[in-house]
Structure formats: C-alpha cells, structure tokens
Amino acid sequence: MTIPSIEPERIPKMSRKFVLRVLKWYRPQTVRLLIAVFFILLAVAFTVAQPLILRDVVDRATAGGDFSQLAIAAALLVLLPVLSSGLNVAQNRILGTASASVTFNLRNAVYIHLQHLPYRMYVHAPPGEINARLSGDVQQTTNIIQRAFPEGLTSLLRLAGTLAVMFSLEWRLSLAAMLAVPLLGWVARKRNYAARKMAINAMQANAALGLQVAETTQPNGILSVRLFNRLQHEIERYLLLNRQVRDLEVAQNNLSANIIVLTSGIAAIGTALVYAVGGLLVLGNAFSIGTVIAFVAYLSGLYAALQILSSLPQGTAMALVGYQRIFELLDLETENLGPMRSDLPARAHGELRFENVTFQFNDEVPLRETARPWSVRLMGQSAQPSLTDNAANALENISFSLNPGQMLAIVGPSGAGKSTIFNLIPRLYDPDQGKIALDGQDLRDLPLEWLRQQISLVSQGIYIAPGTLGDNLRYARPEATDAELRSALEAANLAEWVESLPHGLETFLGQAGARLSGGERQRLAIARALLKNTPILLLDEATSHLDSINESLLQDALFRVRRERATLVIAHRLSTVHDADEILVLERGKIIERGVHKSLLAHSGLYARLYEKQFISNEKD
C-alpha cells in the first residue's frame, strides 16, 4: 500500500514559545509530577541494582560461599522487582490522575473558547472539524504524560545507570555491547519516519470515517440518502474509507512486528558478542562468570531502554500535532463582547436604525481540515470553490428606521440579502461600512449579551434542542412560569395541540425536533420568541409552513404583540405584509423600492409585479 506524503506543516515546529505553551498545561500538576519523578528514580535504582545482586548470587553459588549471605541476596532478587513494580503502579496512578486533569482542563478551555467564537466561524469551519479537535486531538495529547514522560524518564535514567555500572564493571565488555547501538539507532530512525507518516494518515482516515457516519446518520442526511437513492453510493464510500482505516492499522501493526524482529536480532548479536568476549576473558581469569551474567542482564535492560527511547518521538510528535491543532483553535479570535455598561435599562425602548449599511461576506476558512481532503481525494473530487469568490456586496447602502409599535417588511427575490439584514441586528456579523443603532446607540457600543437579550429572531433554520417541548420553550427564558408558557403557546396557536399530546409539555421531540411538522416547528419557534418577550422581534419567513387558516390566526396574534415592540418581517407571501408601516424591496443587496403597500402597487415596479403574480396564482387556487 502506498502512503500519501504528509504535509510538512502538519508537524509542529518546536519553537520555544510553543514548548512553553504546552508546558503551561502541566504546571498545575507539578506536585504530582515531582512525586512521580521520585517514584521513578527509586524504581530505576531497584532495577539497576538487580544484576549486581545476581552476580553476587552466581559467584557465591559457584564458589560455594556463605549460605546466609546467598539467601539474603536471593531474597533481595525477589523483593526488588516486587518493590519496583509497586512503585510503577503508584507512579502510573499518579500520572493517570495528572493526565486526566490536563485533558479535563484542555477540554474545558476548548469548549469555553468555542462558545465565544463568532457565528461566522461555525458557518465556514469544515464540518466535523471542531469535534475532531475537541475529542480526537485532546485525546492525542495524553500521550505526553501517560507515555512520553514516565517511559522517557525511566529509560533515560535506566540507560545512564546501566551504562555507569557496566563501564565501572568491565570497560572491554561494555565496548563490545556498544557495537550494536548505532545499528539500533539507524533502525529507530527509519521506523519513526514511517510510523509518523502512518499515524497522521490514520488520524485523517479515522476522522473521514467519523464524518461519513455523522453526515449520513442524522435525519436530514439520511433523508437525502434515501430520496436520492444514494444508499449504495454511501455504503461504498464508507467501505472505501473503512478499508483505508483497516489497511493503515494493518500497516502499523506490520511495521511494529518487523521492527521487533529486527531489533531483537540486533540485540541478540550484541548479546552474543558479550558472551564471546566475556567467555574469552573468563577463560583468561580476567573476571568471574557472575560478571558476564550480570552484563547480559544489563545488556537486555540497555537495549530495552534504547528501544523505548527511540519509539517515543513518534507518539510525542502526534501529541504535539494535537496540541498544535488545539492551539490553532484557541488562537481564533473570539466575539467582541462589547463594553461593560451599567447605565442601560433592562429592556431597551426598541428604536432600530440602519444608516448606509454595507456588508460583504468574508469567506476565510478558519480551521484547516483534517477529514475532508482525505475523502475528497478518495472520491476523486476537487475541492469546492468558495461561495464568495469574486463576490459583490451582500448588502449595499441599506438605511431604514423603525420605532416600537411599527412593523417593517423586507421582501424581494431569493438571495437578495434579506436574512443577511437580520443577521446584522444581533451582531452575528458586523457591517463593513455604515452604522446600526438601537435607541440611538451604535450596536458596537452596547454589551453583546444585553443586545441579544433585546432581540427575538425566528429564523428559517429553527434549532430544536434534544429534549422535551417544555425544555425547548424554556430555552428562551428558563425562569418562565407555567402560565407564561401557556400564554405563549396560545398566542402561537399551539396550546390545543400541546393539550392533545399524551405527555403535554413533557413530550420528547427527538433528534433535531424530528417528530414535529414544519408548521409545528414554526409555531414552537414563534412561541419561544414571544416567551422571550423582547422589544425587537425579527420574523424570517416565520409562517411560511402554515396553512392559510393557521397563518391568519397567527398573523392576528402577531398583530397583537406588535403593539409593544418593533417588528421586522421577511416574507415571500406578500399578503402577510399588507399592513406593514414600511416595505423595503430588496434586490441583489440593494433597496430598489420602498413605501407602503398601496404606494408600491401604484409604483408598478418589482413589488407590484411580485404581488400580481401571487394574487393571480392565489385566484387560481
């Protein structure tokens, strides 16, 4: 199997700043790490002492020496391994806690940061990317504390201790043992390079597989699969991705197995050399058999330590890639929360003003994608062109004003920029030029949380959280009383429907509100908006899914609540905006006509044409 080459930018540069930033996450664990270091030191000392005791046992036994001394040495040979494994268990538990605490803190920081990122980031980030970073990458980082730190330190200390004892015992044997080391180093380098490539590719392949599942098992995804008859296509796609994951797993395993064979072979040659040189020296009475046996024991420890040390850079590199990708996310700029202000009333008056507002979507992709390039490459498709390549302004010179008790309607063809106007009001985006003001104050001078508290937006993509009907209503205002819930439901013409449900407000709505009809969903969204009870109400095609009887009932309800607030309405069905105080007709981001229904009809422009068309088609109905 050929492994695609990894992009060099995926391997983090070990700058001082980056290392210090990684270390910062371990600072709260200093005490735990110090205790673990102490345990590791003791465990290594016990391990390094064992071959020396073994030598003593062998030499005493062969020389027929003192039995009681022999018994003590033999007892030590049993005791020391038990002690060092006890210490290892303790050290493992301490580091396990430290590792869990680091990932706990990382996850919290990433999630809190995510919640503060601007809305546009979610619109443009590749799907699945955020989740990949929050779960996969955070998991990768645990390698540092669970493997690299204890195994690296243990092996380094063991290496240093073993070498010191070996050279102090017999320098000629030590030199013979060292002959195999450069070979081991060469194998490790080759292995690390191949393993790192495979690990990064495995990470991408797994992410692509996860994305495929996520996209094709949510209600809307599965609906497309079924209705476009793409079942076979999706299954084949999954099989292909899954095969890649399997092949990479097999390749990773094979690599490890080959390496074990190779390094064991080299270690065996080293050991044979020691036996040969040692045997000759024993024959020449240069030292005892016990020394040769101790040497061989040291040698296996030495090679094991070298092997562990040589495998660590790969896992560490993966953990560092994880950190790099987490930092990339943490470095994304958060939403500007606006100034802190204590001079604002809890409820705004509700006077809204757009002054020459111009806006263009910026299509930058905030996070490099893990998953998609892989699947795109597999499916032989090219990357998607950007939505806003050579884009014109989404909005140009938009001006209007609206007072409490008034209703402003925005109409116009699809894609004219109507929803974009709405998105600017709760500052999901900020205008590039011009100003939007609430009660005479630029939105940017108001605290964001306060501003959003003044606005209810019923959008086209209505979010229904997993949970019950009551939970979804209370999402708008957790402290709402049952009576308030009921009156919002009545206003949205939903009360009867809720009463007819066996579990009433406790009815579970399923994933993304899958059990609701389009009209029920819209009415629930309106009830939620009314419950929030804000001075600004934005309705984006809020009644488009309703039949005409329900729509007119709801229009009556909305007519009543309009008196206390400024209402902006986007509507395709022009009959619903007859009585608006002003109607803006938008085309390609510009206001091309404005006025009240009658004057617009008299003007015989786009509005009149649209109205006529709808009127005629209604007549036909």
The footprint of ligand ATP on residues 369-408 (CB under 6 A) is 387-388, 394
Is 475 a binding residue for ligand ATP by CB under 6 A? The answer is: no
Identity of the residue numbered 361: F
> What's the min distance (Å) between Cβ of 428 and ligand ATP?
9
Q: Is 418 in the site for ligand ATP (CB under 6 A)?
A: yes
By C-beta, is 56 or 396 nearer to ligand ATP? 396
Nearer Cβ to ligand ATP, position 124 or 562? Answer: 124
What mask, x for binding ligand ATP by CB under 6 A, covers residues 66 to 105?
Answer: ----------------------------------------
Torsions phi, psi for 515 (to 5 deg): -85, 5
Among positions 405, 415, 510, 518, the unique one binding ligand ATP when judged by CB under 6 A? 415
Phi, psi of 353 (to 5 degrees): -140, 130
Residue 341, phi then psi, degrees to nearest 5: -140, 140
Residue 581 Cβ vs ligand ATP, minimum distance, rounded to whole Å: 21
Report in angstroms how near the CB of residue 390 gets to ligand ATP at its nearest.
12
Amino acid at 434: G
Q: Which is nearer to ligand ATP, 124 or 565 (CB)?
A: 124
Of the candidates 198, 166, 225, the residue with the CA atom closest to the CA atom of residue 48? 166
Quote the DSSP letter at residue 413.
S
Minimum separation from the CB atom of position 353 to ligand ATP (A): 20
Q: Burial code of 507-529, b = ≥16 C-beta within 10 A, e = fewer?
A: eebeebbeebeebbbbbbbbbbb
Where does this chain touch ligand ATP (CB under 6 A) — which range of 93-101, 129-137, 235-243, 413-421? 413-421
Please choose, out of 86-94, 107-115, 223-231, 414-422, the segment that lies near ligand ATP by the rule CB under 6 A.
Answer: 414-422
CB closer to ligand ATP, 170 vs 593: 593
Cβ-based neighbour number of residue 4 at 10 Å? 12
Output 252 or 388, the one with its CB closest to ligand ATP: 388
Return d(Cα 521, Cα 497) in angstroms, integer: 12
Sites for ligand ATP among residues 108-127 (CB under 6 A): 123
Give the nearer residue to ligand ATP in terms of CB position, either 56 or 551. Answer: 551
Between CA 475 and CA 220 the distance in angstroms is 23
- Which tokens belong to 324? 């790099």
Among 534, 512, 400, 410, smallest CA distance to 462 is for 512
Closest CA to 427 of 436, 440, 439: 436
**How far is residue 243's CA from residue 206's CA, in Å, rounded to a whole number?**
11
Q: Tell me: does residue 281 bind ligand ATP (CB under 6 A).
A: no
Q: Looking at beta carbons only, is 101 or 388 nearer to ligand ATP?
A: 388
Check residue 417 for interaction with ligand ATP (CB under 6 A).
yes
Closest CB to ligand ATP among residues 68, 414 = 414
Identified binder of ligand ATP from the candidate list 184, 199, 416, 516, rule CB under 6 A = 416
- Residue closer to ligand ATP by CB (options 170, 540) is 540
What radius of gyration, in Å, describes the C-alpha atoms of the chain? Answer: 35
Amino acid code (one letter) for 604: S
The residue assigned the tokens 């030191």 is 41
Smallest distance from ligand ATP to CB 414, Å: 3
Residue bearing tokens 């900020």? 430
**SS3 label, residue 85:** helix
With contacts defined by CB under 6 A, name the span among 268-276, 289-297, 397-405, 412-420 that binds ligand ATP: 412-420
Please answer whether residues 51 and 298 qualify as being in contact, where contact means their C-beta atoms are separated by less than 8 angstroms: yes
Residues that bind ligand ATP (CB under 6 A): 123, 361, 363, 387-388, 394, 414-420
